[in-house]
Amino acid sequence: MKKKKNNKLLLLILSFFIGCIIGYVCHYCIINWNSFFAVCEDGNSPDKYGCCFGEEYADIGAGLMACCPDSGDYCYPPIK
């Protein structure tokens, strides 16, 4: 009888840890979904800095970096 209780407790603990691992992986994927599939408006992937074609990775002051279009429009944070 005691061995069956120990097996059930072990199974319960193991199930808990497996659930925690699956939950962590799902949470990580949801949080980072956009960076996995980052695509520019032209359908291409951004460069190593997260900027698309026709944009420059530039210092916008206060130690902040952003992607600024060559046309001089509004700068925005890198895609990834």
Domain boundaries, the chain: 2-69
Q: What tens digit of pLDDT does each residue of 39-67 get?
A: 888 888 888 888 999 999 998 888 889 99
Q: Is residue 23 within a helix (H) or strand (E), and if so which, with residue range?
A: helix 2-31
Query: Residue 11: which H helix or E strand, with range?
Result: helix 2-31
Higher pLDDT, 6 or 34: 6
Burial class, 13, CB count within 10 angstroms (exposed 0-12 / middle 13-18 / buried 19+): exposed
The pLDDT confidence band at residue 70, using thresholds 50, 70 and 90, is confident
Within 1-80, strands assigned E span: 55-59, 65-69
Does residue 69 carry a pLDDT above 70? yes
pLDDT score recorded for residue 7: 84
- CB atoms under 10 Å from CB of 41, counted, come to 8
